[in-house]
A and B are shown apart, each in its own frame.
Chain A
Amino acid sequence: MMITNKKNIGLYIHIPFCERKCDYCGFLSFPMKETERSTCIDFLLKELKQRGNKPYIQDKIVDTVFIGGGTPSLLSGSQMDQLLTTIKESYNLAEDTEITCEANPNSLTNDKLKDYKSSGINRLSIGIQSFNDEVLKALGRLHNSEQGITAFKEARRAGFNNINIDIMFALPNQDMSLWKDTLNQAVSLGPEHISFYGLQIEENTPFYERYKNDNLNCVDDKEADRMYLTACEALKINGFEHYEISNAAKPGYRCRHNLKYWDMSYFAAVGPGASGYIDGFRYENPSVIKTWKDKIKNGHIADLNIKDKENIKDAMSVFCFTSLRTSDGIDTKEFEKKFGLSIFKAFPNIENIIYNYVNNGLINISSDGHITLTEEGFLKSNDFMCEFV
């Protein structure tokens, strides 16, 4: 009954290490020594091979690869080459595969960039976060604004013609003028893609305690909203398409891998804590490094477990809330085609809620049946999305 694009899938590889854990970071990543890192990579290669051998991968074509983390740019040129070679050997890669690698400015050298490029990386995502040194320091980042700029320029020089930069707002010690400054500098570097995120206070991070105890000098929620809207505006003026809640791209440069997440395409995932979605299964690798390694040693990492099979109810809610992250929104006709019932039947209360949001200018309903959040609506996205879970 479910019709999904089964031919093309994405592949996510999680690099679980970094030089130093940033004070706000809630992602699965640990500072590791050189030898530990290289053991980790060995296991990643093994998992890549084990998964690649499975029929559920063999009958697919991988047309996007995303190497995220952690700090993937801690991989040496040859380690990156090994990784990509293994991917090419074990997976059916499409001709025009988008291969993204996340990078930190301080771990990018000229040589490394050239190596990455020749290994096959064709898209870089640089975690610049801010162009203000005070703000970067407060975040616990290891680079300064100058290194950010240099890294971008070096990447261009190495031949990367598809670069994203990550920037963040509502950071400690960052007011509107500093944010505008960061936006201007980001735009003036001329990247193809800009991701802009608000700082999220994650539990079990140093920032959590500090925030709770009023010991983190952040703007209030209203100002954070204004920062977001300012970014939307600035990016549009500069020729970017705001195609996803926190992503904007020059025409033709949307991140194809990222979009897979939001249109329920399948993607395989490799590495500790990584979660994939394949043939209707949502699996998650163990997030404890040792358990993850053991599962690879046992040869069971790539087994799909029946308990991970997504049920229709979950699929319907995921369909809705992920679609809402994009500028296309929920395609109600597609929903009905996919699940065999109308969205209003699936979520009986949603009709009234939608009208309420429409009246408040948070939602648009198009004549072809798309429900999309407006930019104001994106600010209330969780509030709306949670009506679908």
Chain B
Amino acid sequence: MDHYQKNIRNFSIIAHIDHGKSTLADRILEKTGCVAKRDMKEQFLDNMDLERERGITIKLQTSRLLYKAKDGQEYIFNLIDTPGHVDFTYEVSRSLAACEGAVLVVDATQGVEAQTLANVYLALDEDLEILPCLNKIDLPSSRPDEVKQEIEDVIGIDASEAPLVSAKEGTGVEDLLEKIVEVVPAPSGNPEGKLKALIFDSYYDNYKGVVIYARIFDGIVKAGDTIRLMNTGKKYEVTEVGTYSPGPVPCNELKAGEVGYICASIKQVRDARVGDTVTLDNDPADAPLPGYKKAQSMVYCGIYPAEGEKYENVKDALEKLQVNDAAFNFEPETSQALGFGFRCGFLGLLHMEIIVERLEREFDLGVITTSPSVIYKVIKNDGTEMMVQNPSNLPEPTLVKQIEEPIVKADIMIPKEYVGNIMELCQERRGKMIHMEYITENRVQLHYEMPLNEVIYDFFDALKSKTRGYGSLDYEFIRYEPSKLVKMDILLNKELVDAFSMIVHESKAQARGKFVCEKLKEVIPMHQFEVPIQAAIGQKVIARTTVRAYRKDVIAKCYGGDISRKKKLLEKQKEGKKRMRQFGKVEVPQEAFTAVLKYDDNK
């Protein structure tokens, strides 16, 4: 081992949402003098407002820290933060692959959660040394001994020496840092070898182009090198390398064992996909590092400019977002109801929500999103196969031999008193229980196989609502399975509104149809004419309701002052007449498109 390597510690922090990962990262930055306390924004590593608001980290930030240990030596800590949500499992796994160790933060008041487990398994897959630590020990409701036992029972690692930390108050953080020095192995790797660097994150910078975060496993990279990305085969010239502490600090070279950034005038984040291996073009490594996966969109929805919003503006914004988000993709599509827009693919529902919120907040755009859909595999009578992610593209039922839907393995962790409720919920969502285990006396993990299309609607909201926020969920795709699926259309005033079409299981169609009809009735205003709302499968109407008409022609009070208002009223009536004559089109407020997607406790 090279002498410079022995004082490096590369590690991640893994934790469940709200268990205090970001706060802890802040404290570590502060204790290592990396960020002065007064300069700190709360939770430095979460640099997107949206994330801070939701208390979850989505985008990775990496920092190189200097820590003077009690043994008198100075250590380089590379803290690689990981995203904290189920949609980003692959990204988490790549971040972990860049480390030798992981600090497992467990809330001493809450104990182990489904997602903690999921991330621990990811870390174990990468052979990381796991260093448990208990957070929030300042809270009166903390129960460190029990939780330690839980960690040992559930995860099977020794937690007896787990540091007791209050990230909020800063207590125990130094113990933790010492433990990191002691427990996390120094990196190995040969600086003389052929360059092999793992991309574990990247972001787009307006001046530098794509900035790659990489862990160097073998070899050396420096400005002027021509690098090759082994999975995409693309070549670039390195313009700058450096480390983050936490702002960028250029340096001469990055060597085996180190973590830092590489700039190479790369134009799009998708060209430097997480998991790819960087090597030198003129002296390449034999094989890339294992574990590369292409980004796989699991959930799709249409995004359309809201009224008064320009198509071009939405397109520009989507392009900008895509530059920085390799997992997000879009292509143009048109809807009869909504006009010109885009079909967008996401890793999961949260990813979708984040993109939509960013469009609204960062770009100040009004957009309409359509019902989310998964990708269905359709096998036609002639034996050909097609993948369908827009319900409108589903072929005529007579042409279809079989439709298959994606099934996920869902791990749900809940306090035991909610088991009944949640089993009912899962059953309702066509879940098949694989098994159930008691993690502790009070906590239960349920293992289900469930169609993804049941998960994407509002399952997570329902789970949270039915467990008073204590339930947690982790899911991953396992296979496609044949299923009795039908396309359900919504007709307003006898006219199909394509943006409301959805693919549902036969057994759920009626209930779903009724729910959508009722929701629409709430949000669609009265018109000059009666508006029947129908849910239909093919020609067969399975649910209906009606928005009653305005009183047609009222002999109403009208002040002279109201002449402009009267005129507007007449214009509206004229418009209504025209529409009735032409297509009987119904005004659908934008909120209607989201209202049908929301979880409703009372339904």
Contacts and interface: CB of A to CB of B under 8 A. Distances in A.
Interface in A199-241: 199-201, 203, 208, 211-212, 214, 221, 224, 228
B550 A201 contact: yes
A14 B561 contact: yes
Interface in A158-187: 166, 170
Interface in A284-338: 284, 314, 317-318, 321-322, 325
A314 B570 CA distance: 13
B548 interface: yes
A321 B551 contact: no
Interface in A111-136: none
B567 interface: yes
Contacts of B569: 382
A12 B421 CA distance: 63
Interface in A20-65: none
Contacts of A198: 551, 554-556
B560 A261 contact: yes
Contacts of B550: 201
Interface in A224-267: 224, 228, 245-246, 257-258, 260-262, 267
Contacts of B573: 382-383, 386
Given A200-B551, A200-B556, A382-B573, A389 B567 contact: yes
A277 interface: yes
A363 to B, nearest CB: 15
B563 interface: yes
Interface string A345-389: 000000000000000000000000000000000111111011111
Contact of A277 (B552, B555, B563, B571): B563
Interface stretch (A86-94, A141-149, A268-276): A268-276
Interface string B538-577: 0000000001101111111111111110110111011001
B563 A318 contact: yes
B548 A212 contact: yes
A211 B525 CA distance: 11
A262 B559 CA distance: 10
A17 interface: no
Contacts of B555: 196-198, 228, 245-246, 378-379, 381
Contacts of B570: 321, 382, 385-386, 388-389
A156 interface: no
Range class of the A interface residue count: 35 or more
Contacts of B548: 211-212, 214
A77 interface: no
B559 A12 contact: yes
A269 B561 contact: yes
A386 B574 contact: yes
B526 A201 contact: yes
Nearest to A267: B560
Nearest to B550: A201
A81 B570 CA distance: 39
B567 A275 contact: no
A201 B560 contact: no
B574 A387 contact: yes
A273 B564 CA distance: 12
A13 B435 CA distance: 75
Contacts of A280: none
A258 B560 contact: yes
A212 B547 contact: yes
Nearest to B552: A221
Contacts of A203: 525
A62 to B, nearest CB: 14
A389 B554 CA distance: 18
Nearest to B549: A221
Contacts of B566: 321
Interface in B514-553: 525-526, 547-548, 550-553
Nearest to A245: B555
Contacts of B560: 10, 12, 257-258, 260-262, 267, 277
Given A197-B555, A379-B553, A382-B569, A261 B574 contact: no
A30 B554 CA distance: 25
Contacts of B557: 166, 195, 197, 200, 246
Contacts of B559: 12, 68, 261
Contacts of A269: 561
A384 B304 CA distance: 37
A272 to B, nearest CB: 11
Contacts of A228: 555
B422 to A, nearest CB: 33
Contacts of A381: 553, 555
Nearest to B578: A386
B134 to A, nearest CB: 52
Nearest to B577: A386
A222 to B, nearest CB: 10
A275 B562 contact: yes
Contacts of B564: 275, 282, 284
Nearest to B574: A386
Nearest to B568: A389
A211 B550 CA distance: 9
B465 to A, nearest CB: 25
Nearest to B567: A389
B546 to A, nearest CB: 9
User: Which of B552, B554, B559 has the most chain A CB atoms inside 10 A of its CB?
Assistant: B554
A151 B407 CA distance: 74
A300 B57 CA distance: 52
B551 A224 contact: yes
A297 to B, nearest CB: 23
Contact of B556 (A197, A258, A284, A387): A197
A181 B560 CA distance: 30
Interface of B: 525-526, 547-548, 550-564, 566-567, 569-571, 573-574, 577
Q: Nearest 9 A-B pairs (CB), nearest first? A: A261-B560, A386-B574, A200-B556, A386-B570, A275-B561, A198-B555, A386-B573, A198-B554, A389-B570
Given A317-B567, A383-B573, A385-B570, 13 more contacts: A14-B561, A198-B551, A200-B551, A200-B554, A221-B551, A224-B551, A246-B555, A260-B560, A275-B562, A318-B567, A325-B558, A386-B574, A389-B571
Interface of A: 10, 12, 14, 68, 166, 170, 195-201, 203, 208, 211-212, 214, 221, 224, 228, 245-246, 257-258, 260-262, 267, 269, 273-277, 282, 284, 314, 317-318, 321-322, 325, 378-383, 385-389
23 contacts: A12-B559, A170-B554, A195-B557, A197-B556, A198-B551, A198-B554, A201-B551, A203-B525, A211-B548, A221-B552, A224-B551, A245-B555, A257-B560, A262-B560, A274-B561, A275-B563, A284-B564, A322-B563, A381-B553, A382-B570, A385-B570, A386-B570, A386-B577
